[in-house]
Amino acid sequence: MFDEVQQKKVALDIVRQVREAILAGKLRAGDRLPAEKELVSTFAVSKHTLREALRALEAMGFLAIRKGSGGGATILEVDMKTTRDSIANFLHFQNVSVLDLSQVRKFIEPQLTRLAAEHLSPDALERLVRTHRLCHDTLARGENVAKYEIDFHRLLAEASGNPACLLIQDFVNNLLGDIKGHLRPGLSFSKQVLAAHDRILDAIQARDAERAEQEMFRHVCEVEEALEAIRKQKRKAGKGRRTPLDLSSEE
Read off the pLDDT of residues 95-140 as tens digits, 9 standing for 90 and up.
778 899 999 999 999 999 999 999 999 999 999 999 999 999 999 9
For every residue of the chain, DSSP letters joined together read: ---PPPSSSHHHHHHHHHHHHHHTTSS-TT-BPPPHHHHHHHHT--HHHHHHHHHHHHHTTSEEEE-STT-EEEE-PPPHHHHHHHHHHHHTTTT--HHHHHHHHHHHHHHHHHHHHHH--HHHHHHHHHHHHHHHHHHHTT---HHHHHHHHHHHHHTT--HHHHHHHHHHHHHHHHHHHHH---HHHHHHHHHHHHHHHHHHHTT-HHHHHHHHHHHHHHHHHHHHHHHHHHHHTT-----TT------
Average pLDDT over residues 207-217: 97
Domain residue spans in the chain?
10-75, 81-236
Most confident of 28-32, 203-207, 236-240: 203-207
Q: Which CATH architecture has domain 10-75?
A: Orthogonal Bundle (1.10)
**What is the fold of 81-236?**
Four Helix Bundle (Hemerythrin (Met), subunit A) (1.20.120)
Q: Residue 250: pLDDT above 50?
A: no
According to the model, what pLDDT value does residue 207 have? 96
